[in-house]
Amino acid sequence: MASNRKLLVLPGDGIGPECMSEVMRIADWFANYRAVSFDITEELVGGAAIDAHGTPLTDETMQLALDSDAVLFGAVGGPKWEGLEFAARPERGLLRLRKEMDLFANLRPALVFDALADASTLKREFVAGLDLMIIRELTGGIYFGEPRGIETLPDGTRRGVNTQVYTTPEIERVLRVAFDLAGKRQGRVCSVEKANVMESGELWREIAQEIHDKEFPNIELTHMYADNCAMQLVRQPKQFDVIVTDNLFGDILSDCAAMLTGSLGMLPSASLGAHDGTGRRRALYEPVHGSAPDITGRGVANPLATVLSYSMMLRYSFDLGEDADLIEQAVKNVLGGGLRTGDIMQPGKAKVSTRVMGDAILQELNALAA
Ligand code: NAD
């Protein structure tokens, strides 16, 4: 079916293609039964692109990404390419995509399906039903600020320097993403910094409040110091809806939140750029996990992180919330029915392959749509 929604699919290396082929079956289902279709182009990235073209991302593929409404990414990397110099490694393909698409907002949901609540290191009652979203500013802050470097002082001691820098436009745009998203969720944003000890945090807090008051008065806004947020995430994680924070704190807090869910094979993510004036926003969706060379080719990978990345794409790039809900419900039902891939296996459950997990999601979609 013809569609004006352009989707670039980059399965990549290792278990990337294995997981992506289950997603493509789900995409077919949506085209057939829900009239949700895409103009799909599939290309190589990472090690697969190095083998075929000598580079982890060709200029042509980069251009396709820039011209697409969304990019769906699998995973890159593996032992075969580990000897290459850093600039030629598979991971550079992903870094180039993030940089040239100017993806400044990284969305990491921490969603705990009831059936998997026991996989968390926290007690079930603290995590069952958890659904929070961490938005990390991805292109600014201390990882990019100048001056930076290591210098030797006149007395011979050495000094390492990094600089935390944020401008008002950088803060404004990521806060807008947070408020927008909260509007599609429970309507609550918690903005996190260290305004008590950092001027950049003071500015962050001021701008967050300003954007809220001017543009999003109906969303609830609270402010929290990053150290307190780390404690609250493991004390009472269900108090949060959307957390928005800078690059450094986001790096740490999103990994902490991810571990509340206890399973890498279940974690999707999205990275968003700016609106381009036609209402389109550059976006890349990918599972948090890597290419898992230790299980590649055995048909045992958990495809659900990639499946859930696809449902994030439906929700956030195409405003197809009902269709995204359908996928998430199908995942819930399949897990509730006791099917597990090896990574999330529990006693008394049925261990299944990547393909059987895909089959089960399709069967569930059929049942839900009946
Ligand atoms: P990894 O995420 O690939 O694997 C970590 C462990 O989790 C492995 O034991 C793996 O088998 C398991 N695992 C991960 N995803 C799984 C899934 N869907 N189902 C079942 N088990 C799963 O991380 P790693 O081993 O540190 O890295 C392997 C390669 O992936 C490296 O080359 C690394 O650079 C690359 N990597 C790529 C990305 C990316 O493409 N975004 C992210 C992280 C790592």
* For residue 2, pLDDT beyond 70: no
Is residue 98 in a domain? yes
User: Active-site residue 349, yes or no?
Assistant: no
**Residues 20 and 107 grouped into a single domain:** yes
Q: What are the tens digits of pLDDT across the range 288-307?
A: 999 999 999 999 999 999 99
State the average pLDDT over residues 89-115.
94
Total residues belonging to the chain: 370
Residues 239 and 316 grouped into a single domain: no
Distance of CA 152 to the CA centre of its chain: 39
User: What is d(CA 5, CA 280) in angstroms, rounded to the nearest whole number?
Assistant: 11
Provide the pLDDT for residue 123: 93
Q: Is 194 a catalytic residue?
A: yes
Give the three-state DSSP class for 138: coil
Options 28, 67, 118, 227, the catalytic residue: 227
Amino acid at the residue 309: S
Q: HEC string of 85-101?
A: CHHHCCHHHHHHHHHHC
Q: How far is the CA of 291 from the centre of ligand 1 (A)?
A: 5
Instruction: Please state the rounded mean pLDDT for residues 317-342.
Output: 95
Q: How high is the pLDDT of residue 244?
A: 98
Please report whether residue 123 resides in a domain. Answer: no
pLDDT, mean over the chain? 95
Phi, psi dihedrals of residue 187, rounded to the nearest 5°: 80, 25
Confidence of residue 53 (pLDDT cuts 50, 70, 90): very high
Q: Are residues 13 and 67 in the same domain?
A: yes
Query: Structural domain of residue 242, as residue ranges?
Result: 131-260
Cβ atoms of 71 and 283 closer than 8 Å: yes
Q: Is 316 a catalytic residue?
A: no
State the pLDDT at residue 175.
98
Give whole-number Cα distances, 221 to 164, 191, 240, 243, in Å.
Answer: 24, 7, 11, 10
For the chain, the domain total comes to: 2
How many whole angstroms from 187 Cα to the centroid of ligand 1? 33
Q: Cα(317) to centroid of ligand 1, in Å?
A: 26
Question: How, if at all, do strands 131-137 and 350-351 pair?
Answer: unpaired
Q: Is the beta carbon of 294 within 6 A of some atom in ligand 1?
A: yes
Q: Is 69 a catalytic residue?
A: no
Based on the fold, state whether residues 332 and 211 are members of the same structural domain.
no
Determine how β-strand 131-137 pairs with β-strand 105-111: antiparallel
Domain boundary, last residue among 235, 260, 285:
260
Chain segment 274-285, per-residue pLDDT in tens: 887 777 899 999
Q: Would the CB of 258 count as within 6 Å of ligand 1?
A: no
In this predicted model, which residue has the larger pLDDT, 86 or 297? 297
Q: State whether 256 and 272 are in the same domain.
A: no
Confidence of residue 1 (pLDDT cuts 50, 70, 90): very low
Q: How confident is the model at residue 236, as a pLDDT?
A: 96
Specify whether 135 is located in the same domain as 208. Answer: yes
Q: Among residues of the chain, what percentage have pLDDT more than 70? A: 99
Catalytic residue among 13, 166, 180, 194: 194
Confirm whether 117 is domain-assigned: no
User: What's residue 238's pLDDT?
Assistant: 97
pLDDT at residue 87, rounded to an integer: 82
70 three-class SS: strand
93: in domain: yes
Do 227 and 275 fall within a single domain? no
Beta bridge partners of 41: 8
Is residue 10 in a domain? yes
95 domain residue, yes or no: yes
Please say if the pLDDT value at position 100 is more than 70.
Answer: yes
Which residue's CA is minimally distant from atom 26 of ligand 1? 290
Regarding whether 173 and 93 lie in a shared domain, the answer is: no
Is residue 290 domain-resident? Answer: yes
In sign, the C-alpha dihedral spanning 235, 118, 354, 333 is negative
**Is the bond preceding residue 147 a cis peptide, omega within 30 degrees?**
yes
55-69, 215-229, 249-263, 281-295: which has the minimum mean pLDDT?
249-263
Specify whether 173 is located in the same domain as 83. Answer: no
Asked if residue 73 and residue 142 are part of one domain, the reply reads: no
Q: Provide the pLDDT for residue 132.
A: 96
- Looking at 260, 284, 316, which one is the last position of a domain? 260
CA atoms within 13 A on the CB side of 200: 17
The verdict on residue 124 lying in a domain is no
Pair (140, 242) in one structural domain: yes
Question: Domain with 216 in it: what CATH number?
Answer: 3.40.718.10
Domain C-terminal end among 216, 243, 260: 260
Higher pLDDT, 29 or 255: 29
Q: Residue 194: CA atoms inside 13 Å, Cβ hemisphere, count?
A: 10
What is the arithmetic mean of pLDDT over 134-148? 94
- Residue 311 pLDDT greater than 90, yes or no: yes
Which residue owns the Cα nearest ligand 1 atom 34? 77
Percent of the chain whose predicted confidence (pLDDT) is above 90: 89
Specify whether 334 is located in the same domain as 349.
yes
Average pLDDT (202-220) is 98
